[in-house]
Amino acid sequence: MKYALLSVWDKTGITELAECLVKNGYTVLSSGGTAKTLRNAGINVTEVSEYTGAPEMMDGRVKTLHPKIHGGLLGRRGIDDEVMKKNGINGIDILAVNLYPFEEMSSKKMPLKELVEYIDIGGPAMIRAAAKNFSDVAVVIDPKDYGMLEKAISSGNDLTEANRLNLAKKVFARTASYDAAISNYLYSLESELPEVYTVQFRNGRALRYGENPHQKASVYGETGIAGQTTLQGKEMSYNNYLDVDAAVSLMREFDETAAVIVKHNNPCGVSLGDTPLEAYKKARDVDPVSAYGGIVALNRPVEADVAKELASTFIEVVIAPSYSDEAMEIMKVKKNMRVLILPEEKDTKSVRTIDGGALVQITPKDIKENWEVVSEREPTQDEIEGMKLAMKICKHTKSNAVVFANKKSALAIGAGQMNRVNSAEIAVRKANSSLKGSVVASDAFLPFADTLEVAAKAGATALLQPGGSIRDKEVIDASNRLNVAMVFTGIRYFRH
């Protein structure tokens, strides 16, 4: 006699699997809601409590925790046969289980006393037991794998050991993520950044190489940027993923029609526009040399006019909410240009590995800058709008960051220097248009007046910075002397 045990929260496909099992001579064991579903479909099942001789108890908390179940899953065929026979244990050859939806229910903000009832005990215990004994037991936790199992059963062939091992891998990955979700939730009751934080990334795909050809790399993830695959063009590279993430993070600062161009993890062009075409062309003109071979992010659909501009030069990746059929046809001439759909934003913690561990960071969504005019001259409305734009760019530029802008576009970007004045000097040197009447934003306070002096000499008339230096008065005095409006925000935006 062949036995299969079916006990699932997600009933997708379970009736068809049970029908296949019964048709091919299996005795189907089941309990609770699964047994009811199968009986309603006219399928003959044996209740677990009837099979074990032990009733379900404690409101269903104890159903499958019994030696006849776990012995049937763990018993090694050819090794444990005598002890199984002696104790009336039949081998369970197939197990189909999926778990109580703790992750989904924990997002509903229900009382902990109610939520703990969605912590599955019997399910994880059974699938772990079956996965350990994969040489003899096929354990299926994903309805997408039912078809493979049904095909094998209907053909009269058992699953290969390699198939059963692959199914077992899925089990241990699932129990690891399930326990991680429970652990993270319980620890989060104490703090947003708890003593223990566990993460798991799935959907691993090998990349050609890492940052450089001598390094190996993979990308993991099923959603967001990590889960994206190209509509056209070559496969994404390690550096492409990093740059696309940087471009999209900055682009999400804007509700207005905007274009962002990123090169080596730093923005080299950012602009607003009345149309996507205007925004893209202005962003490209900020630093056309750096824009060559860059990553382009747009927050509006791409039509034929933008597609023609994208196809007129070398672009590594373009990402946008959608593309017209005509745009896709135009971009085909650039067969290596990777084209991506902008994914929905995911609210996740930032995790970066370091030697021996990781750094985890949360950026509050409701953080508010406290703008304070500290100069004698008040900024004009145009200067205020320009400073807002410049600081949005600063937030996503490697520190030390100094950004020149007007109310519509970045004009020059200085990034990633070991001192702030060098960033300002580099920005001025790289400027592709006049900086007269521009505004400046700095991601951190000015320790000396030198950065301000460089900006004023280049033509800037207003400067936005966090403030907080012991030399703030010296810098404010310089702004008054130079007739530069200065505003403090109280918020620093270092980005390492």
Q: What are the catalytic residues?
A: 132, 264
Look up residue 345 and give its DSSP letter. Answer: P
How far apart are the C-alpha atoms of 323 and 438, rounded to whole Å?
A: 34
Q: Is the peptide bond before 166 cis (omega within 30 degrees of 0)?
A: no
Nearest 5 degrees, angle CA 340-CA 346-CA 348?
Answer: 130
**What is the DSSP code (8-state) at residue 119?**
S
Which of 55, 97, 53 shows the shortest CA–CA distance to 73? 97
Strands 26-30 and 46-47: parallel
For the chain, give the number of residues. 496
Is there a contact between 445 and 494 (Cβ–Cβ < 8 Å)? Answer: no
* Unique residue bearing structure tokens 């056209």: 232
Q: By C-alpha distance, which of 20, 14, 16, 19 is closest to 32?
A: 14
Read off the amino acid at residue 172.
Answer: F
Nearest to 303 by CA among 269, 257, 343: 257
- Residue 410 main-chain phi, psi, to 5 deg: -65, 145
Ramachandran assignment for 175, one of left (phi > 0), alpha (psi -120 to 50 degrees), beta (any other): alpha
- Measure the CA–CA gap between 117 and 211, rounded to whole angstroms: 46
As a dihedral over the C-alpha atoms of residue 468, residue 394, residue 271, residue 236, rounded to 10 degrees, the angle is -170
SS3 helix, strand, coil % of the chain, rounded to 5?
40, 20, 40
User: 3-state DSSP call for residue 313?
Assistant: coil
| Non-local CB neighbours of 357 within 8 Å, separated by 6+ positions | none
